[in-house]
């Protein structure tokens, strides 16, 4: 009897342990706790590809790959630079913060991949095509007008369309080669006031269109935001593209919205959406979908679940963000794909080869402030906590130079080294409401200094602190707390950035030894 009791207890313990292991092994929402907004997704065989908004960053329209919908890695970009114009180059006092290229569409059709986007900066719609989405090369076509929040769609009869707009949603037919609108082709509003199916007065009219066809019916997904309510998914369906369309609310929970649905190889369905999450940005969620009476029903009893019946996340490192020792190896890209420049870079003014093992940022002009400076190299911050550290050799700064580590948004923060009158100073700058002020400066005799930024996004605290060290081991807080704010003029989550700009004379340079990222923050208080 005693042996049976022991065996029973052991069995129960195993069951509890296995149950805990199963729960731990499940994916959790958000599936990506970083700024990956306006996502569009396809599945080709057993592989998923996802594109996202870029705005003022370069290269643009990241292409991410996954085998399980949870663990993603950046494998390519649709373009290196969108266009060579002052706004995108940060030249002649112009910028394209918060504009650039917005929500993309991604498709696979007859052996080719298509990624499309549009840009307020240029007023154009862009179509990128490749046979190899992971390696390219890409062919680009652009045309006017700019089709806002469009969804590219290849119909079964060989005709190709874009559905776009806000509130009143218009369907336009494209030329066969996707080089522009087809003269005499279909071109009319197919749904008026698409947001009207959601209760309340329209705040944000229906936009963010994503169109697909399932079992002979057309389905259109949009986001809207009823005044006084929350971001909401609306779904329309029709038997014909030209309508009539009938609609309903698809999901109204936690403000999780904008996206579409996708199936797995074994026939499960999920909605891919995102949620505004303060200063870290707009972060992706997955929500189970089941079909009832020809409608996709999103959520578990209408709610966004915390856990999912999918493999657990292995973390965002190194697929979405990654540490970098700047050790350039033969055959590698010049920079890992996790990096993006703030606006188009000037490629003459940075190098990984002039001093092997270091990123060298060289000044080629003078700038009034950090947001006007070119060649700031960035990566996403991520939640719930994240930290970035670097070491910078400031031996060759010129008078008026400022080099260091940034947290980039309109209300930015900086920690770095300023060269003034033959003396270097460790400086922290805080820019609340886009008004920068120097909070603290410390004289610096050493030629190399270690810098660190720590971000706390837990429960939307959205707070950050900067640190410095002279040996890379003992850290000292510099300046005050940065209150991070997600602002619409930049329309992007905070980014870690390595920067160097001149205010008086050009030709100085700063050498960055590494950027090391961590998903935990440490405090000296």
Question: Residue 123: pLDDT above 70?
Answer: yes
Environment class of residue 482 by beta-carbon count within 10 Å: exposed (0-12), middle (13-18) or buried (19+)?
buried
> What is the torsional sign of CA 162, 166, 170, 175?
negative
pLDDT-derived band at 8, boundaries 50, 70, 90 = very low
Lowest mean pLDDT among 266-275, 297-306, 325-334: 325-334
pLDDT over threshold 50, residue 500: yes
Per-residue pLDDT tens digits for 213-245? 999 999 999 999 999 899 999 999 999 999 999
- Return residue ranges of the chain for CATH 2.115.10.20: 26-311
24: pLDDT confidence band, cut at 50, 70 and 90? low
**Model confidence at 523, in pLDDT bands (50, 70, 90)?**
low
Q: Is residue 331 predicted with pLDDT exceeding 90?
A: no
Q: Quickly state the pLDDT bin for 4 (edges 50, 70, 90).
A: very low
Q: What is the CA radius of gyration of the chain?
A: 25
- Residue 12, pLDDT > 70, answer no
- List the beta bridge partners of residue 420: 423
Cα dihedral across residues 408, 414, 416, 421: positive or negative:
positive
Tens digits of residue pLDDT in 350-364: 999 999 999 999 999
pLDDT at residue number 49: 98
pLDDT band at 200 (very low <50, low <70, confident <90, very high): confident
Average pLDDT over residues 448-467: 98
Q: What is the DSSP string of 141-187?
A: EEESS--TT-EEEE-TTS-EEEEE-SSSEEEEEBPTTSSSBPTTS-E
CATH 2.60.120.200 domain extents, the chain: 340-518
- Domain spanning 340-518, CATH class: mainly beta
- Percent of the chain surpassing pLDDT 70: 94
Cis ω on the peptide bond leading into residue 137 (within 30° of 0)? Answer: yes
* Topology at the third CATH level for domain 26-311: Tachylectin-2; Chain A (2.115.10)
pLDDT mean over 263-270: 97
- pLDDT tens, residue by residue, 86-95: 999 999 999 9
Mean pLDDT of the chain: 94
370 dihedral zone (left: phi>0; alpha: psi -120 to 50; beta): alpha
Scored b (16 or more CB within 10 A) or e, 61-99 reads: bbbbbbebbbbbebbbbbbebbbeeebbbbbeeebbbbb
pLDDT band at 524 (very low <50, low <70, confident <90, very high): very low
* pLDDT tens-place string over residues 173-192: 999 999 999 999 999 999 99
Q: What is the pLDDT of residue 271?
A: 98
* pLDDT above 60 (res 6): no
Please write the tens of the pLDDT for every residue from 142-177. Answer: 999 999 999 999 999 999 999 999 999 999 999 999
Residue 525 in this model has a pLDDT that exceeds 80: no
Quick check: 275 pLDDT over 50?
A: yes
pLDDT at 330: 78
- The region that residue 141 occupies, defined by phi over 0 for left and psi between -120 and 50 for alpha, beta otherwise, is beta
Left if phi > 0, otherwise alpha if psi is -120 to 50, otherwise beta: which for 217? beta
Helix (H) or strand (E) holding 17: helix 2-25
- With 0-12 CB in 10 A as exposed, 13-18 as middle and 19+ as buried, what is 445? exposed
| pLDDT interval class at 334 (50, 70, 90) | confident
Average pLDDT over residues 51-73: 98
| pTM for the predicted model, two decimal places | 0.93
Q: Is the pLDDT of residue 21 over 70?
A: no
Q: pLDDT digit string (tens) for 279-329?
A: 999 999 999 999 999 999 999 999 999 999 999 999 999 999 999 999 988
390-406: average pLDDT: 98
Across residues 364-377, what is the average pLDDT?
Answer: 97
């Amino acid at each position: 009897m005693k042996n049976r009791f022991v065996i029973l207890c052991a069995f129960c313990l195993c069951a509890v342990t296995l149950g805990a292991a199963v729960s731990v092994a499940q994916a959790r929402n958000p599936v990506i706790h970083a700024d990956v907004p306006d996502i569009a997704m396809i599945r080709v065989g057993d592989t998923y590809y996802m594109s996202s908004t870029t705005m003022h960053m370069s290269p643009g329209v990241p292409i991410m790959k996954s085998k399980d919908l949870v663990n993603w890695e950046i494998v390519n970009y649709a373009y290196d630079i969108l266009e060579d114009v002052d706004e995108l180059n940060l030249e002649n006092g112009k910028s394209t913060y918060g504009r650039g290229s917005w929500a993309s569409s991604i498709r696979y059709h007859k052996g080719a991949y298509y990624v499309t986007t549009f840009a307020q900066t240029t007023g154009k719609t862009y179509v990128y095509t490749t046979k190899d989405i992971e390696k390219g090369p890409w062919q680009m076509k652009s045309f006017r007008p700019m089709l806002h929040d469009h969804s590219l769609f290849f119909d079964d009869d060989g005709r190709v369309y874009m559905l776009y707009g806000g509130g009143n949603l218009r369907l336009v037919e494209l030329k066969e080669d996707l080089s522009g609108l087809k003269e005499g082709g279909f071109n009319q509003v197919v749904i008026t006031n698409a947001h009207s199916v959601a209760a309340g007065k329209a705040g944000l009219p229906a936009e963010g269109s994503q169109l697909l066809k399932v079992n002979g019916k057309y389905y259109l997904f949009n986001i809207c935001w009823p005044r006084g309510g929350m971001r909401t998914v609306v779904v329309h369906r029709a038997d014909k593209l030209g309508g009539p369309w009938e609609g309903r609310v698809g999901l109204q929970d936690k403000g999780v919205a904008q996206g579409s649905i996708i199936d797995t190889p074994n026939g499960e369905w999920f909605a891919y959406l995102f949620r505004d999450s303060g200063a870290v940005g707009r972060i992706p969620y997955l929500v189970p979908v089941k079909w009832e009476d020809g409608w996709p029903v999103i959520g578990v009893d209408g709610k966004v679940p915390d856990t999912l019946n999918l493999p657990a996340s292995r973390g965002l490192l190194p697929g979405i963000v990654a540490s970098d020792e700047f050790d350039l190896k033969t055959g590698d890209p010049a920079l890992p794909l996790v990096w993006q420049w703030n606006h188009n870079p000037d490629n003459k003014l940075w190098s990984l080869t002039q001093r092997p093992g270091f990123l060298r940022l060289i000044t080629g002009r003078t700038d009034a402030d950090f947001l006007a400076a070119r060649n700031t190299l960035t990566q996403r911050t991520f939640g719930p906590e994240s930290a970035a550290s670097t070491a910078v050799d400031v031996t060759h700064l010129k008078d008026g130079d400022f080099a260091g580590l940034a947290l980039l948004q309109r209300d930015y923060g900086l920690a770095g080294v300023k060269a003034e009158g033959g003396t270097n100073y460790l400086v922290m700058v805080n820019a609340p409401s886009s008004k920068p002020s120097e909070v603290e400066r410390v004289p610096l005799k050493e030629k190399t200094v270690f810098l660190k930024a720590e971000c706390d996004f837990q429960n939307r605290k959205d707070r950050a602190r900067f640190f410095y060290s002279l040996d890379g081991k003992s850290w000292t807080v510099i300046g005050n707390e940065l209150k991070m704010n997600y602002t619409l003029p930049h329309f992007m989550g905070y980014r870690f950035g390595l920067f160097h700009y001149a205010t008086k004379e050009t030709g100085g340079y700063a050498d960055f030894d590494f950027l090391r990222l961590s998903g935990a923050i440490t405090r000296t208080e």
